[in-house]
Copies of this chain bind each other. A is one copy, B any other.
């Protein structure tokens, strides 16, 4: 399989969301053209994206909604549900701990962590907050593969390094810094202030 671009993975996730919606509505099959129309993209884009991973359609008929959604779930590595920990129980971390959108899509928040003694031992949005000291133990016992990092910017690098040592595979980083981690660990960044800045630029263009 050749190298697949991040854009394609983006769209695969979006296809998946639409397909599960269609499945709930009882739609059995769909063509690349209909899919593309709903999403405002080209049908050839849909077919090209899928072609990176295999042949999922039936010529003349289209794609089986349920089958394709299952295939995409497997491609994204979500068939079995990914175990996730959140580190940093500030405003954002707490909000994410309560966010329904995660568990709805196969993600399982297994534990939340902070280094603030006032928070450790307390239940935050249904999750018992643990000490950072216990991270390694949980990563092992709960098979945690991914962490969501919502600590203050100054602590992000150090916390990330500690987490990497425990064996996690991927980090969703909300701090506005480039984390320095081994190549085998994947880091995706969400920078909320940057999103607003971008929006500001495009808002100015009217």
Contact = CB atoms under 8 A, between A and B. Distances in A.
A40 B180 CA distance: 10
Contacts of A105: 193, 196-197
A196 B172 contact: yes
Contacts of A84: 196
Copies of this protein in the assembly total: 2
Contact of A198 (B13, B96, B148, B205): B13
B188 A206 contact: no
Contact of A192 (B82, B96, B146, B204): B96
A20 to B, nearest CB: 11
A181 interface: no
A165 interface: no
Q: How large is the interface on A (under 10, 10 to 19, 20 to 34, 35 or more residues)?
A: 35 or more
A30 interface: no
Interface stretch (A73-81, A113-121, A133-141, A156-164): A73-81
Interface of A: 6, 9-10, 12-14, 16-17, 39-40, 75-78, 82, 84, 91-92, 94-96, 98-99, 101-102, 104-105, 107, 125, 145-146, 148, 169-172, 176, 178, 184, 186, 188, 190, 192-206
